[in-house]
Chain A
């Protein structure tokens, strides 16, 4: 088991550009989460999927953010028209089963918007 992987690990973009991040969860994990983390803060919940269904999305998430998990395996997070305030670490996590299970995190994608 190779763990959760994320790509790219670092992304520098100019304000106004679109960016897309990919997350590959632990195989057979059917729940996948996206979080955003800024310096000195804990991970902030963005959204989660149960298989391919997006079940909850943070009220704080603007319409510029969208996430997909088309076949219930990998997921993508897209940010359109990036702003400097979007600069953060974007973390993906996965968990097993239908119930309450611990989440395993990937290494994150660090986004810098200039």
Chain B
């Protein structure tokens, strides 16, 4: 069964302190991987889609990378407004378009 594990569960950073979030996944075959940001009480907001190992995508202070078994979300010089829960999700390529999410990493950035 498809599975997504995110670590750490929570991460506290000082403003400007760069770090990475991890998403490990187990699927029969990967169709693609999503990263989302979720603020409290709101629906997830789409950030990136990654399709194949070696792919990288960037947006402002965020960069997502993908290997065969995991993905990383790198946050460079974070600001307090980057505080949120970051969710990873996968779809396998065995038929349908069911999407499995991880539990997320809660990021707190202190000024």
Q: Do A and B bind each other?
A: yes
> With a CB–CB cut-off of 8 A, which chain A residues contact B11?
none
Select A41's contact among B43, B44, B103, beta carbons within 8 Å. B103
- B residues engaging A (CB < 8 A)? 4, 6, 31-32, 34, 36, 42-46, 49, 51, 87, 89, 91, 96-104
> With a CB–CB cut-off of 8 A, which chain A residues contact B44?
43, 91, 93, 105
- A residues engaging B (CB < 8 A)? 4, 31, 33, 35, 40-45, 48, 50, 55-56, 91, 93, 95, 100, 102-108
> With a CB–CB cut-off of 8 A, which chain B residues contact A31?
97
> With a CB–CB cut-off of 8 A, which chain A residues contact B87?
42-43
Q: How far is the CA of A100 from the CA of B46 in the complex (A)?
A: 14
A33-B99, A48-B96 known, 12 other contacts, Cβ within 8 Å = A31-B97, A35-B101, A42-B4, A43-B87, A45-B100, A48-B98, A93-B43, A100-B49, A102-B49, A103-B46, A104-B46, A105-B45
Select B34's contact among A4, A33, A40, A103, beta carbons within 8 Å. A103
**Given the contacts A40-B103, A100-B31, A102-B49, A108 and B42 also touching, CB distance less than 8 Å:** yes
> With a CB–CB cut-off of 8 A, which chain A residues contact B4?
42
Main secondary structure of the interface of A (DSSP, over half): strand
Select B43's contact among A48, A56, A102, A106, beta carbons within 8 Å. A106
> With a CB–CB cut-off of 8 A, which chain A residues contact B89?
42-43
Q: Please name 18 pairs of A and B residues whose Cβ atoms are closer than 8 Å in the assembled complex, sorted by A.
A: A31-B97, A33-B99, A40-B103, A42-B87, A44-B101, A48-B96, A48-B97, A56-B97, A91-B43, A91-B44, A100-B32, A100-B51, A104-B46, A105-B36, A105-B43, A105-B45, A107-B42, A107-B43
> With a CB–CB cut-off of 8 A, which chain A residues contact B100?
45
Q: Are B98 and A56 in contact (CB under 8 A)?
A: yes
> With a CB–CB cut-off of 8 A, which chain B residues contact A50?
97
Please give me the residue from chain A that is nearest to B93 by CB atom: A100
Please give me the residue from chain B that is nearest to A102 by CB atom: B46
Q: Are A100 and B42 in contact (CB under 8 A)?
A: no
